[in-house]
Amino acid sequence: MSGIGGAAFWDGRPVPDGLAAEMMEAVRHRGPDGWRCETRGSATLGHALLALRRPEREHLGPVWSPDGSRAIVADASLYNRDEVANGLGAGWWREKPSDAALILAAHERWGAAALDVLDGDFAFAIWDEGERQVFAARDAFGMRPLVYHWNPRFILFGSEPKQLLRTRLVPAEPDDQTVAAHLLFRFEESEKTFFRMVSRVRAGHVLVADAAGATQRRWWSPDPRREVLLERPADYHARFRELLKAAVRKRVQVDAPVTCHLSGGVDSASIVVLAGELFAECGPEWPPFSTVSSVYPGLECDESEAIAAVAARVPFEGHLVSPFSEALVEGLEQEIRDLDAPLAFIQRGSAKAEARVLRRIGARVLLTGIGGDEIAEEWAYFYDLALHRCYLRLVRDAWAFRNASSWGFLEILRDSLRASLSLPRLRAVRRILQRPPQLPEWVNPGFTPARALLLQPSGPPAVTFPSRLQQQTFDNVTSPLLDRTLEVFNVQASTHGIEARHPFLDRPLAEFVLGIPYRLRSPGSLRKSLLRRSMGRDLPDTVMVRRRKVVFDSYVRKVIAESRGTLQAMLFGTDRWLAERYVPEARARPLLSAAYRDSSLVAPVFWRVATLELWLRKVIERQAESWSDR
């Protein structure tokens, strides 16, 4: 969780004085261990550092090649430094190269193919003075953000949009297509940001930019023909556990306290249990480790029992926090400004309370269970059985699975058979027979981008896998929604000096799961069976037998009811309603009244509208002050 920024002028003109410093000042929170800028010729680069290993404190700032023709800034944590260095061989200009220096050298040696060698979380940009070109990339899942603005005269890039907008070279204008996706909760495109003139480098993509244009292409494209064939089913479980354990191990090799978010779910519980196992093996080499959990006494979403059962199995200090100690709207406007987007979570009380604990104990790394659903869910397995007409096996496995899901036996069969009809030759017929989608009544009927989004067909997958289960897994880990979720999590964590790491989103682990043919993935009577069977009896029964994810409706109802008056005054207590062209005020007011009564359906809608209105106000404020922090 460092920060990067920079600019390059294609025609060779000098960079305006202080441009990079101004950009990096906007993300000072990303550099608790300092930040530095350097300008050479027509390019300027900046780096803000969060040091997680002691030698890293010497690695502040842009890194230039020995001949000075190329330079890199990187927000990167490489987990295979020794492997990369050994592959490069001798000839280093620095005895202990930084991760940025390794990436630059790897790119000089192997070009874009270097990305296949790198194992880690990264976002970086390389400026080539001779070619007058920028080469930038993000890791496979988009753990670190990277945004840019291109035009025929120059390029600006950074970790967060505020860096670009603050230069006054980029107008702060809302992007209507992204606003429509936000309101309808249909993020199907990940290159756009909420600002019309700011683009995002997509997860798993490279950006090549010069005076002629800026193009992106996917670099992480696992081979769909690769099959992982092991002798016994138990071998798959053992291999999954081995890879997940390795993913945890490499993410805690730091010289700073580490905390893991622990809920009562199988994903975070598995990470904590594996961390306990690693602690027993590593002993004094293990960094200070703890867990942090939100509890909801008296509400149906409380997971205290499961949290306690997991905590009893590991030698770590556990911290319990109450989300009710944080008011829903306290600091909300500032958080939306920090995010550069109307994407503050409605469960922000939990994140705020946990962040207080992390600051108090000095933690700099937070492990989470994000990615467990995307990697381990096996629901599409039943679609494959129906698609391949394995009806007897479908009936047998659906019967076994009926108690592992909130869906019953007949619902599993019906959904699987219906999904099997989604063949290309039938899709046109289904579109003709289906009623055209209608805009929700609360959306302004004149908001054309929202209507266009409803009619827009989904594009083809970036990679086509032989089974629905493999395709679902790949689509999940490369989805624009996951990309945005990780970006929000990253920015929120960065404001507290924390780097968030997600062991389930690990390339070797994902590629292993993607290589398993669907016919070898029978879930039996367990949801996320590959994960649960890999953990076995190491997980408490209270975690192992859970049938569904916890729903936080009771919490949402409570906090919205408690904050109703404040929200009413904040949103509707003035004579301005900036979201009128998206959601008329007359249609937004009833949403607040209904939100705390029907939290499962109306509350998310109300929250999207409310955060959009508050974000638009911040846009107007920053336009007026030219994005300065006066």
For residue 421, name the pLDDT band (cuts at 50, 70, 90). confident
pLDDT of residue 600: 79
pLDDT band at 628 (very low <50, low <70, confident <90, very high): very low
For residue 229, the SS3 value is coil
Residue-wise pLDDT for 364-378, tens only, equals 999 999 999 999 999
Q: Is the Cβ–Cβ distance between 368 and 143 less than 8 Å?
A: no
Residues 606 and 49: their CA atoms lie apart, in Å, by: 38
Pinpoint the residues of the chain covered by CATH 3.40.50.620: 222-550
Q: What does the pLDDT look like over 588-619, one tens digit per residue? A: 999 998 988 877 789 999 999 999 999 999 99
CA–CA gap between residue 181 and residue 201 (Å, rounded): 18
Give the rounded percent of residues in the chain with a pLDDT score beyond 70. 95
pLDDT per position as a tens digit, 19-60:
999 999 999 999 999 999 999 989 999 999 998 887 665 578
pLDDT of residue 94: 59
Fold for domain 222-550? Rossmann fold (3.40.50)
Helices 99-110 & 81-88 angle (0-180, nearest 10) = 40
> Is 383 a residue whose pLDDT tops 90?
yes
CB 365 within 8 A of CB 375: no
Length of the chain: 630
**What is the pTM for the complete model shown?**
0.94
Domain 3-218, what fold?
A: Glutamine Phosphoribosylpyrophosphate, subunit 1, domain 1 (3.60.20)
* Spatial distance between the Cα atoms of 317 and 291, rounded to a whole number of angstroms: 6
Between 61 and 588, name the one with better pLDDT: 588
pLDDT band at 404 (very low <50, low <70, confident <90, very high): confident
Asked whether 508 and 515 are in contact (CB, 8 A), the reply is: no
Region 332-349: mean pLDDT is 94
Q: Can you give the pLDDT at residue 428?
A: 56
Predicted local confidence at residue 120, as pLDDT: 96
* Higher per-residue pLDDT: 72 or 524: 72
Average pLDDT of the chain?
A: 91
Reported as a pLDDT band with limits 50, 70 and 90, residue 92 is low
Inter-CA distances, 387 with 379, 384, 415, 580, Å = 13, 5, 12, 46
* pLDDT range class, residue 392, cuts 50, 70, 90: very high
pLDDT tier, 627 (very low <50, low <70, confident <90, very high otherwise): very low
Kindly report, as residue ranges, where domains of CATH 3.60.20.10 are found in the chain. Answer: 3-218
pLDDT band at 535 (very low <50, low <70, confident <90, very high): very high
Q: Give every CB contact of residue 78 below 8 A, 6+ residues apart in sequence.
A: 84, 99, 102, 103, 118, 119, 120, 122
**Helix H segments across 437-552?**
448-455, 468-477, 480-494, 507-514, 529-535, 541-544
